[in-house]
Amino acid sequence: MASPSAGAPPALPSEPLALPPGEVHAWWCDARREPAAGPGAGIDLLDGEERRRAASFRFPDDRRRWAIGRARLRDLAARYLGADPRELRFEYGPSGKPRLPDVPLRFNLSRSGDGILLVFCSGREIGADVERVVAEYGGEEIAGKFLAPREAASLAALPEGIRSEAFFRCWTAKEAYLKGRGDGLGYPLEAFEVPVAAEGPRRLLAHRESAELRRWWLLPMTPAEGYVSTIAVEGDLPSVRRFGGGGA
């Protein structure tokens, strides 16, 4: 079995990072551009459970991408906290969302192909999802089974030329929200609605738990060419600082 350290990221610079309460930081990483592992990088940063998780992936590229993402998470979280990345001890919620106990730092990670998105904020819950857009894929079979009826109808009414991107933006908004809550896909996707083909910060359109409607902001983003993403963040509308990648 190939080692997940192959191609893992080098250690990031050691200077600390500041994260003001009103900001969200979004970091983009392209796994194809990561150099070979060096001292203190990649697999060397992971704990035993993370190494076992990396080794469980069947395909070498999947193992490599997972290890890169997790090493980046440790590197960045440690810089925000002024800590040693190897000393971080994650706890996990019922659906597997990681958390560092006894600190206000909140974070989330999403991968799609070679794209890795990591988001951080302080003192409020956050979730993120990124997807690579598949051209000419409108998600019809998924929409009919998993989306709320109005979401599916809105997607079907769009011109074919923009339907693919709209579907993936809708999907990332739903996943980011569920990851922010810590529920994952175990929560019914049809129990809430997100805007379809909307731009800029937005709220949930409908929810069977009415208090959720004003609790979250959905922040669409284009982290790199060919990808779309959404960040779901609790509380007041934050400013977003981006590191790496491109797009709007």
Residue 117 inside a domain? The answer is yes
H-run or E-run covering 23: strand 23-30
CA-based nearest residue to 62, from 120, 1, 129, 142? 1
87 and 135 share one domain: no
Domain boundary among 123, 152, 185: 123
pTM: 0.89
Reported in sequence order, the residue ranges of 76-205 that DSSP labels E, i.e. its strands, are: 91-92, 98-99, 105-112, 115-122, 126-132, 192-193
The DSSP secondary-structure symbol of 58 reads S
Sorted by sequence, the CB contacts under 8 Å of residue 140 that are 6+ apart come out as: 156
Residue 2 inside a domain? The answer is no
For residues 47-70, give the mean pLDDT.
91
- Answer for the pair 184, 178: CB distance below 8 angstroms, yes or no: yes
Domain boundary among 86, 106, 123: 123
137 and 210 share one domain: yes
Looking at the structure of the chain, the number of domains it has is 2
Residue 85 inside a domain? The answer is yes
Backbone angles phi, psi at 225, to 5 degrees: -60, 130
3-state SS track over 101-116 = CCCCEEEEEEEECCEE
Of 7-21, 46-60, 102-116, 214-228, where does mean pLDDT reach its minimum?
Answer: 7-21
Asked whether the predicted pLDDT for residue 85 surpasses 60, the reply is yes
Residue 244 inside a domain? The answer is no
pLDDT at 41: 53
CATH of the domain at 98: 3.90.470.20
Q: Angle 175-243-72 (CA atoms, 0-180°, nearest 5)?
A: 70
139 and 102 share one domain: no
**pLDDT category of residue 246 using cuts at 50, 70 and 90:** low
Asked whether the predicted pLDDT for residue 98 surpasses 80, the reply is yes
Asked whether the predicted pLDDT for residue 40 surpasses 60, the reply is no
**pLDDT category of residue 12 using cuts at 50, 70 and 90:** very low
Domain that holds residue 164: 128-235
Residue 242 inside a domain? The answer is no
Cα separation of 248 and 235, whole Å?
Answer: 23
Asked whether the predicted pLDDT for residue 175 surpasses 50, the reply is yes
Average pLDDT over the chain reads 88
140 and 54 share one domain: no
Domain boundary among 57, 92, 123: 123
104 and 170 share one domain: no
Residue 93 inside a domain? The answer is yes
